[in-house]
A = this chain, B = another copy of it.
Amino acid sequence: MRALFTDFYQLSMMQGYFFSKPKEVAVFDMYFRKAPSGGAYAILCGINEVIEYIQELKFSPDDIAYLKKSGYFKDEFLEYLKSFKFSGEIYAIDEGSIVFAHEPLIRVRANILEAQLIETAILNTVNFQTLIATKASRVCESAKNASVMEFGLRRAQGRSAGLYGAKAAFVGGCIGTSNVEAAAKFNLPALGTHSHSWVQSFDSELESFRAYAKMYPNATLLLVDTYDVLNSGLPNAITVFKELRDKGHEPLGIRIDSGDLEYLTKEARKMLDDAGFKDAKITASNDLDEYAIEHLYQSGAKIDSYGVGTKLITSQDSPSLGGVYKLSGVERNSKVEPKIKISNDPRKINNPGLKQVFRFYDKDTHKALADVICLDGESFENLESLEIFHPLYTYKRYKLQNFYTKKLLKPLFENGKFVGEKKSVKDIAQTTKSEKQSMWSEYLRNVKPPTYKVDLSQKLWDIRENLLTKHRS
């Protein structure tokens, strides 16, 4: 039912186009207007799944039968759907890239029936994965050198949220996931040891720890808060760690999942050190997010790794990315005629036309300076300097010098054929890592970061102004 993974109005519009202007070619841009969680940036994620969706997109006989039964669609149109496939052009920014508000992340130029159908799946896929990759990046930034593991499956918004959320979390910087399906599908480290029920099911905590250490002598990480961390969990864990060492094994460490993590981890560190287990690691979990982790870090809590669940996999404080997919032009005589949608809110007016995005880098530091959205075909490579300006507050101007540029939108599909490159999730995570290195750290700050400059080229700005003037009259 992959073709039915769409909104009903896409199909009613398709039928409308089919009978009114079946040959129309349109340009649509996918972009968001605001980065999640009050941050300055987002990590683009979900492009691989967009590729798969486009490649596999077709209407099965069952899909056609369902649509026919609805009584809403004419036979001629259903006949067209039977042999439907995407035959247009798609450009996208590399998955794992750092992206900003208003930049076209995906650009579709295709027959309007095709371009319209794919809107919903593209938005669903890219909105969610980008949201979670961004959240993971924020959490990992706050954890500094401590590692972060994703284990939110039980609170994820459904199975695919858990599956692709785990992928996105890895792209954003997590070291692995508790989700076995995700680990298998994306070749990620699967992590996890035991829960409270393991401890409860034995007659005593000590007995449960012994049984675990016996089973996993080289991977003994014990959850110490089923009854009482300092008075029961840790003394029992240390007893078992000593028994392990006597048999020639070193324990991995402990996990604390409740209580005051600053106090408990400081005490636990002392107890472990005093008992001779300086290398035993302390893992902390319990409803954590980037803000809680930041405070734990500042307070000197002794935490080597974090398990982060609910608040990461749902992006709790900002559980949706409002990515949109807007018509920006239609073809007339093989040329793209720019189109605009007007709104009282000036930030909601779309950028018309067939566009490209350039990132400007400083030649010496190789840090990103600004992005410019421009018309397709514009180039800035041979300029000595470029004065850019804020698209709404045009008095805000900035002169770029000593730069080189990179074109961000790259071809994925041409004439319906995949012409891009599909990277492994580990490679995508690597892209994110180097993208973050190309950014000044201010922009990666979780709280009140500065705004990264994303301006319009003069040519694009002029077209936009002209269309606004035209619609005013």
Q: Which A residues form the contact surface with B (CB < 8 A)?
A: 1, 4-13, 15-17, 19-21, 24, 26, 28, 63, 66, 70, 72, 112, 116, 119-121, 123-125, 127-128, 131, 151, 153-165, 178-181, 183-185, 190-198, 200-201, 211-212, 214-216, 219, 226-228, 258-259, 310, 314-316, 319-323, 325-327, 330, 339-344, 348, 471
Q: Given that A180-B7, A316-B319 are known contacts, is A13 also in contact with B195, CB under 8 Å in the complex?
A: yes
**Are A159 and B160 neighbours in the complex by a CB distance under 8 Å?**
yes
A326 CB, nearest partner CB in chain B, Å: 7
Of residues A127, A184, A197, which shows the largest number of chain B Cβ atoms within 10 Å of its Cβ? Answer: A197
**Are B4 and A157 neighbours in the complex by a CB distance under 8 Å?**
no
B residues within 8 A CB of A13? 194-195, 197-198
6 A-B pairs with least C-beta separation: A9-B192, A8-B192, A158-B160, A123-B154, A157-B157, A319-B319
B residues within 8 A CB of A164? 158
B residues within 8 A CB of A127? 154-155
**Are B159 and A124 neighbours in the complex by a CB distance under 8 Å?**
yes
**Are B124 and A153 neighbours in the complex by a CB distance under 8 Å?**
yes
**Are A16 and B119 neighbours in the complex by a CB distance under 8 Å?**
no
B residues within 8 A CB of A9? 178, 192-195
| Chain B residue nearest to A341 in the complex (CB) | B196
A128: which of B6, B158, B216, B342 is its contact (CB, 8 Å)?
A: B158
B residues within 8 A CB of A219? 72
A200: which of B16, B20, B128, B339 is its contact (CB, 8 Å)?
A: B339
**Are B161 and A215 neighbours in the complex by a CB distance under 8 Å?**
no
**Are B201 and A330 neighbours in the complex by a CB distance under 8 Å?**
yes
A436 CB, nearest partner CB in chain B, Å: 24
**Are B7 and A154 neighbours in the complex by a CB distance under 8 Å?**
yes
B residues within 8 A CB of A258? 343-344, 348
A174 CB, nearest partner CB in chain B, Å: 14
A157 CB, nearest partner CB in chain B, Å: 4
A275 CB, nearest partner CB in chain B, Å: 24
B residues within 8 A CB of A228? 342
Of residues A1, A228, A314, which shows the largest number of chain B Cβ atoms within 10 Å of its Cβ? Answer: A314
**Are A124 and B156 neighbours in the complex by a CB distance under 8 Å?**
yes
A180: which of B6, B125, B185, B348 is its contact (CB, 8 Å)?
A: B6
Q: How far apart sit A350 and B403, CA to CA, in the bound complex (Å)?
A: 62
B residues within 8 A CB of A191? 8
**Are A26 and B201 neighbours in the complex by a CB distance under 8 Å?**
yes
Could you list 29 examples of A-B contacts with CB < 8 Å? A1-B181, A4-B180, A4-B181, A5-B159, A7-B153, A7-B154, A8-B191, A9-B178, A9-B195, A13-B197, A16-B194, A112-B201, A121-B159, A124-B153, A124-B162, A127-B154, A128-B158, A131-B157, A154-B325, A156-B157, A157-B161, A160-B160, A160-B161, A196-B327, A201-B339, A227-B342, A310-B322, A314-B320, A315-B319
